[in-house]
Amino acid sequence: MSKSFRLLSLLLVVVLLIGACGAPAATPAPAAPAVEAPAVVEAPAAVEAPAPTEVPAAEAPVEAAMAPATFFSTQFVPVEEQEKFRAILQMGGFDVTGSEEGPLLDVVLAGAQSGKSEIDVIGALHGTFPPLAREDAMMNLVDVADDLSMDRELTAAYLQTGLLGTQDFLSYVPWMQATYIMAASVEALPYLPEGADINALTWEQFGDWCKNLTEETGEVRCGLPHAGLFHRFLEGYMWPSFTGGVVTNFKSADAVAMFTWINESLWPYINPQSINYSFMQEPLLSGEVWVAFDHTARLLEAFNAEPEKFVAFPAPAGAYGRGFMPVIVGLGIPAASQNPEGGAAVIEYLTRPDVQGMILKEMGFFPVVAGVDTSDLPVGIGIEAAAVAAQSSSADALPALLPVGLGARGGEINQIFRNAFDRIVLNGEDIQTVLDAEAVNLQLLFDETGAPCWAPDAPSDGPCQVK
């Protein structure tokens, strides 16, 4: 019996053991959600993992054909400006790297020497391009400009400056501009000379207008910013319009005739307070002056504050044309660019009329293409934009560029032109004697810096020569 009992007990233990081992076997049913949860998480992971691999693989051929261009610009380098400009670029799928002029020149020239440029397109002032062109570091953009002309009208005068004195090598396509214009109170308009068109004045008509204002109102109503950017008035407007040049004709017979006219027919009708004016918007708003010349930025407050009271118009013309000084910014493609098509795409985008309008509204630079909608601009900018366009697109437009190649001594040329004016007009010294003396200083500056001539003077191989 005891033996049988032991066998029975052993059997019972075995059964219990089997039952205990069988319990986990039934567990999968309630555990199913725990298994499914990871399955749901892992399934997307399994799907998403190849997805990033597949997208670049699909886009790779497109990127190879239309890779984004590497764009460097000396404009809009400050953080706030760059953020605004980058937002405009990103609408077209582009980006930009801000750079100072010196480093940009170094990188482009290094690329030209190595045959492989790290940059595909550059945006820079006109004066940046001549040293690059001298080293054959830029691509000829004549064909690019021709393609653009199929659906937009670029300012002809600035296409000419982009040639840098050559006949058929376009170093840059114009991108944007700033400049100096004229402003007048509507009260001055009835005193215009008979038959004069305010948008096509000559300097002689301008002098007559100022004379009429003085004689008929009893007040000297014309003003110039002698304490401000007056040297630009001389370098960009007077000398080019009356002599056809800036440096080469500095002491010419035409320059003598110009000063004779200034002494007799202009300065007597310029408000004596002009020697104290820096920003002409202030005397315009006060009513002290009714007609003025200045940089667009220094007239803007008057147009914004009382748009119904003031008009903007192009600078007058002389015997050699309508001299004016634009601050021209161009777009160029380095000759060693690895992606010239991408560079051309950036140029195409930035010269679209709608993009030019965005740059005007957000960045304050004026368009170089026709057809820009100015209806939604701040009123002052809209008024100025019309005058800027009329000035640069006039049939007799004669752009006189900012001094090029003088480096840190750029201020010296400004002083030479100012000295000539002050000695002749303010101090009453003999015209030819003063011009001859200041011409010596001017020539010395060019000899010591080696700076060549710039437009409207003809290009020179060496230092520009005063005649």
| Predicted confidence (pLDDT) per residue in 18-54, tens digit | 343 343 333 333 333 333 332 222 222 333 333 332 3
pLDDT at residue 170 is higher than 50: yes
Structure tokens at 8: 């029975």
Q: How far apart are CA 129 and CA 132, in angstroms?
A: 5
- CA-nearest of 467, 465, 315, 464 to 398 is 315
Q: What is the mean pLDDT of the chain?
A: 87
Predicted local confidence at residue 404, as pLDDT:
87
Q: How far apart are CA 412 and CA 368, in angstroms?
A: 30
**Helical (H) or strand (E) element with 124:** strand 121-125
pLDDT at residue 291 is higher than 70: yes
Q: How many helices (H) and strands (E) does the chain have?
A: 19, 11
Place of tokens 């009513």: 287
Give the pLDDT band (50/70/90) at residue 281: very high
Structure tokens at 393: 């697109």
**Residue 364 DSSP code:** -
pLDDT at residue 235 is higher than 70: yes
pLDDT digits (tens, 9 = 90+) for 97-145: 999 998 999 999 999 999 999 999 999 999 899 989 989 999 999 999 9
Structure tokens at 191: 């005193």
Structure tokens at 14: 């075995």
Q: How far apart are CA 234 and CA 160, in angstroms?
A: 22
**Predicted TM-score (pTM) of this structure:** 0.77
- CA-nearest of 101, 103, 71 to 89 is 71
Q: How far apart are CA 121 and CA 172, in angstroms?
A: 10
Predicted local confidence at residue 364, as pLDDT:
87
Q: Comparing 346 with 57, which gets the higher pLDDT?
A: 346
Predicted local confidence at residue 66, as pLDDT:
56
CA 90 to chain centre: 18
Q: How far apart are CA 149 and CA 371, in angstroms?
A: 13
CA 271 to chain centre: 33
- What domains sit in the chain, N to C, each tagged with a CATH number? 65-179+326-373 (3.40.190.10), 180-325+400-449 (3.40.190.10)
Counting residues of the chain whose pLDDT is more than 70, the rounded percentage is 86
Q: How far apart are CA 50 and CA 60, in angstroms?
A: 15
Our CA dihedral for 111, 112, 113, 117, rounded to 10 degrees, sits at 20
Mean pLDDT of 283-305: 97
Which backbone phi and psi does 292 adopt, to 5 degrees?
Answer: -150, 165
Counting residues of the chain whose pLDDT is more than 90, the rounded percentage is 79
DSSP labels, 312-344? EEPPPBBTTBEEE--EEEEEE-BTTBS-HHHHH
pLDDT at residue 370 is higher than 90: yes
pLDDT digits (tens, 9 = 90+) for 181-227: 999 999 999 999 999 999 999 999 999 999 999 999 999 999 999 99
Structure tokens at 458: 């003809």
Place of tokens 């001299």: 323
Which of 1-15, 164-178, 275-289, 395-409 is predicted least confidently?
1-15
For residue 330, give every residue at least 6 positions away whose Cβ sits within 8 Å of its Cβ, in sequence order, or none: 123, 124, 125, 126, 129, 158, 162, 171, 172, 173, 174, 175
Report the SS3 class of residue 97: strand
Give the pLDDT band (50/70/90) at residue 290: very high
